[in-house]
Structure formats: C-alpha cells, structure tokens
Structure 1
C-alpha cells in the first residue's frame, strides 16, 4: 500500500499540510492579538505587510492545504470505518487530487489578478 506509491504521498502531504496549517494558525493568532495595542499599533503595519504579493501567494497555498487536508481526512475516515475503503484508497486519493484542483482553479482565477495588481 505504501513504499513510494499513492498511499505514501497521501501520508506525507497530509502531514505537511497539517504542519503548515498549524503554523498559519499560530501566526494568525499572533497578528490578531496585536489589535489590543490600538489602531496606531503594530497591527496595521502587519496588515500592510500581509497585503504584499508573497503573502497573497501564501494564502493561496494555505487554501490549497486546507482543502487537501480536509478531503484527505475524509478519505482516511472512509478507509478506517468502511469495509471497502482500503480497497479503493488509490482511487479516492486521485479523487482528492481532482477535487482539490477543481476547487483551486476558480480560486486561482479570482486571486491571481489581485496578486499581480489587477482588480
């Protein structure tokens, strides 16, 4: 099931996306906590910093991580709690990739022009 095949890639991507989401959550809690220093405090400086294009690309990657992590988590639940899940785990992983792509394309169409100075 593993050894360089789909199951191992799903395992690694699930772990990496989980760590990325945990780090993003810590950063988000930190920057939201800066509001307590008032309107002239560091929160507005961080907001300006976060609106630069590298962070906007990072938000697209975070969106992809959220969608992948959620859908792959459902795949893992199906593998653990159904009698047929392990048999179809490869198909379900490819379905997760197709769904992440299908959800990601409209997001990219909306966000990429904003990243590079469009509407």
Structure 2
C-alpha cells in the first residue's frame, strides 16, 4: 500500500500481469474489484495506461481491443466498434469532448503491471 501525499488516502495497487504478457501496442482486459479495466502498453516500453473497458458509444465492453495510436502526440485508443478515439491520459473522447471514460493510475514494478482501482 502506498500513501499518497495529495489526499492522504491509502492507494491500493493491484498486480495485473507481467509487462511481457502485454504485446507492445495492444491492450488487455482485467476484472479488478468488479470493474472491467482496459490496460494498454505503448510500444516496447514500460509506458502503460488503464481506462474503463466500457465504450459509451456502442454500450459494450470492448475498448481493450481498440487500436492504439496518437493524435498530435497524445496517446489514444480507437474503439473497435465505431472508431471514436479516447485520450489514454484523460479518458476524454477526442471526437466528442462531452464524453469520457474513467482512467486509472498504472505503474510497472519489477516487470509487473500494477493498476490502482479506488
């Protein structure tokens, strides 16, 4: 457990998988605390992102199967259904800023991908 300085709440990190289990530039889905979380690996690096797996446009849990890329240097995932793009850092839809998905903090420790789901 990690103590955060900003809000003094305890943050629980959950180990999801090894970094090697996520093919570069793809995503995986994990069920954490009853929530489907899409976890993405950018390139052959330790850069990872986690967002809610629910696509608000198609109303299905599919974002982990989306196509990773970037728009003007902003990492994003395109929904595999209707192709809306979501900013992996903020969760905002790049095609309709009124829509967003929840994001979750990630980190890689000793080759293990960890996500914080509060």
Judge same fold: TM > 0.5, yes or no: no
Larger radius of gyration: 1
Q: TM-score, normalised by structure 1?
A: 0.22
Higher helix share: 1
Q: TM-score, normalised by structure 2?
A: 0.23
Higher strand share: 2
